[in-house]
Amino acid sequence: MNRNRSPTEAKRKEVSRIVYVLNNDGHPLMSCSAARARHLLKANEAIVVGQEPFTIRLIVGIKNPVVQKVVLGLDMGAKNIGVSAVSQNRVLYQAKIELRDNIRKKMDRRKMFRKNKRSRKCRYRALRFNNRSRKDNWLSPSVKSKVDSMIKVVNLITDILPVSGINVELVNFDTQAIKQNTEKLLAGWMYQRGPLYEEENIKSYIRSLYHYICVYCKKPGDETDHIVPYSKGGTTTVDNLVCACHKCNQDKGNRTAEEFGYPRVQQRVKKSLKAAAHTQMAKTELVKQLRDIAPVKITYGHITKVNRKALGLPKSHSIDAVVIASEGTPVQIPQVEWRGRSIPRGNYRLYKGAHSHIKNQSARILFGFKQWDKVRLSDNQVGFIKGKRSTGYFCVSDIEGNVLNPSINYRCLQLLRKSSGIIWIENKRDNVSSPQINLGVSDAGDC
């Protein structure tokens, strides 16, 4: 261990850790340095209320506290989002969160079990599919899950920092222009005449497009085939359908065209616009809910790109969130970046293999632990409870789901953080800051 560190390196290490402070009534104050927090704890002037992120609460409150301006930046995306909190050219919080992308798959699986259940002994049961109505501002379950995750992260930050405003980046996608691969402004009638204009249906369009010739064997065919099967995420759109004969369609089965030995057919599949559609659907509801938390200022992607290049920062969701919050002002970025992953809150699929659709019969909390709790193992590794058994043995994995220990006793586990819909880890990295900022010399802030 090298104990001869320069004063700059020592100062840099000290200010890289930020401690969040709450008043005695629970309202957030400005963050402080780790040294200041240790002094308050030793003097019995504060208590620890959270480990991750480390948060203390003052025992003797401050009347009429004066706080600095803290701006929260949100870079929304369909698969990942970035959030940050900036105050006086210093990043107080920074995180990247991976959103759930398996809602549709799980709903299809649940639909299969539901249909199977209702098809048994229900000859005279009343219909259910034609007596349901959607509420105003309805969102699809997959999009609603992403909006809820974003709001959950914003509320987490506002619980530990006095956020005075929110800057959010919105994006606008012209899906029709993307499909036509053009940057020109389309006329109004071009949006009304899609590929199925004046066609009977999509199957007749595909057959006439390929002149009733199988794309695989070049023989006559009149069936439509998915290039990417529906079971593997393929869509029933023009870009994913081709004409095929019955034999090739059956031989291909549940494989993609490339797996079937026809990579040239696979190249016809265009990039999915699902991410663009989800972002377009979520932005209105997201801004509406953010306005209930703090004043919202909207920015756009091209502005973020110009500011990021001017500051000389790399491209990432968390860095973009910093640029959005700072509005192009040079900032110092800490060494610690939080990484989160949205997880389901249900208690299903508890058995390996068969009967995985049956609800768990064991207790939700066993020996003080529940699924996705963050724990420390006996060998000092940090992981999450992936599987639990009534015998007291647990399966622990990392944030990616890779198993660290398939069976470990609860006595060898130390609880670090309860699961709350999002699991978190710390990512330490080298200082990444604007060239205009001298690393390691900024003040960490006062309580």
Structural domain includes residue 122: no
Handedness of CA 423, 427, 433, 439 (dihedral sign): positive
Amino acid identity of residue 68, one-letter, is Q
What DSSP string describes 366-410? BTTB-TT-EEE-TTS-EEEEEEE-TTSEEEEE-TTS-EEEEEEEG
For residue 303 the two structure tokens come to 């502005």
Neighbouring residues of 351: CB distance < 8 A, sequence distance ≥ 6? 358
pLDDT digits 0-9 by tens, 71-98: 999 998 889 999 999 998 899 999 999 9
Whether 282 and 149 have beta carbons less than 8 Å apart is answered as no
**pLDDT at position 304 over 60:** yes
pTM (predicted TM-score): 0.80
User: Residue 17's pLDDT is what?
Assistant: 80
Confidence label for 431 from pLDDT (cuts 50, 70 and 90): low
| Strand partners of residue 47 | 57
Average pLDDT on 152-163 reads 95
Same domain? 160 vs 291: yes
Confidence label for 185 from pLDDT (cuts 50, 70 and 90): low
pLDDT digits 0-9 by tens, 197-219: 777 888 888 888 888 999 999 99
At residue 154, what are phi and psi to the nearest 5 degrees?
Answer: -65, -40
| Spatial distance between the Cα atoms of 203 and 191, rounded to a whole number of angstroms | 21
Average pLDDT on 329-339 reads 87
Distance set, CA 257 to CA 202, 237, 266, 410 (Å): 20, 16, 5, 48
Average pLDDT on 40-52 reads 92
Least confident of 121-135, 176-190, 397-411: 176-190
At residue 378, what are phi and psi to the nearest 5 degrees?
Answer: -65, -25
User: Residue 8's pLDDT is what?
Assistant: 43
Same domain? 96 vs 164: yes
Amino acid identity of residue 418, one-letter, is K
Same domain? 231 vs 368: no
Same domain? 382 vs 337: no
More confident position, 61 or 47: 47
User: Residue 13's pLDDT is what?
Assistant: 44
| Spatial distance between the Cα atoms of 267 and 239, rounded to a whole number of angstroms | 10
Label the pairing between strands 80-87 and 223-226. Answer: unpaired
Structural domain includes residue 163: yes
| Spatial distance between the Cα atoms of 57 and 371, rounded to a whole number of angstroms | 28
User: Residue 105's pLDDT is what?
Assistant: 84
Average pLDDT on 208-231 reads 89
**pLDDT at position 177 over 50:** yes
User: Which CATH number is 252's domain given?
Assistant: 3.40.1800
Q: What percent of the chain has pLDDT over 90?
A: 43
Confidence label for 408 from pLDDT (cuts 50, 70 and 90): very high
Structural domain includes residue 107: no
Distance set, CA 417 to CA 51, 53, 384, 393 (Å): 7, 10, 9, 19
**pLDDT at position 127 over 80:** no
Rg of the chain over all Cα atoms, to the nearest angstrom: 27
Same domain? 164 vs 286: yes
Average pLDDT on 378-405 reads 91
| Spatial distance between the Cα atoms of 375 and 383, rounded to a whole number of angstroms | 6
Confidence label for 12 from pLDDT (cuts 50, 70 and 90): very low
Structural domain includes residue 95: yes
User: Residue 420's pLDDT is what?
Assistant: 86
| Spatial distance between the Cα atoms of 429 and 406, rounded to a whole number of angstroms | 29
Confidence label for 196 from pLDDT (cuts 50, 70 and 90): confident
User: Residue 158's pLDDT is what?
Assistant: 95
| Spatial distance between the Cα atoms of 85 and 94, rounded to a whole number of angstroms | 7
Burial class of residue 90, CB neighbours in 10 A (0-12, 13-18, 19+): buried
User: Residue 434's pLDDT is what?
Assistant: 58
Same domain? 260 vs 290: no
Tally of domains within the chain: 3
Structural domain includes residue 40: no
Handedness of CA 405, 409, 412, 417 (dihedral sign): positive
User: Residue 430's pLDDT is what?
Assistant: 59
Whether 262 and 231 have beta carbons less than 8 Å apart is answered as no
User: Residue 178's pLDDT is what?
Assistant: 67
User: Residue 268's pLDDT is what?
Assistant: 78
Instruction: Round to the nearest angstrom and report the end-to-end CA distance of the chain.
Output: 33
User: Which CATH number is 159's domain given?
Assistant: 3.30.420.10
**pLDDT at position 67 over 70:** yes
Structural domain includes residue 87: yes
Structural domain includes residue 27: no
User: Which CATH number is 381's domain given?
Assistant: 2.30.30
**pLDDT at position 26 over 60:** yes
**pLDDT at position 269 over 90:** no
Same domain? 253 vs 203: yes
Average pLDDT on 139-161 reads 93
SS (H, E, C) 135-193: CCCCCCHHHHHHHHHHHHHHHHHHHHCCEEEEEEEECCCCHHHHHHCCCCCCCHHHHCC
**pLDDT at position 11 over 50:** no
Same domain? 262 vs 202: yes
Parent domain of 310 = 69-100+143-170+280-341
Average pLDDT on 291-299 reads 94
Q: How much is the mean pLDDT over the chain?
A: 84
Same domain? 286 vs 265: no
Same domain? 258 vs 336: no
**pLDDT at position 112 over 60:** yes
More confident position, 143 or 114: 143
For residue 276 the two structure tokens come to 């663009």
Same domain? 207 vs 337: no
**pLDDT at position 230 over 70:** yes
Same domain? 380 vs 253: no
**pLDDT at position 10 over 60:** no
Structural domain includes residue 302: yes
Vertex 283 angle, CA 108 and 83, to 5°: 100
User: Residue 7's pLDDT is what?
Assistant: 44
User: Residue 350's pLDDT is what?
Assistant: 52
Most confident range (mean pLDDT) of 79-83, 100-104, 127-131 is: 79-83
Confidence label for 389 from pLDDT (cuts 50, 70 and 90): confident
User: Residue 9's pLDDT is what?
Assistant: 45
Whether 86 and 327 have beta carbons less than 8 Å apart is answered as no
Average pLDDT on 432-445 reads 46
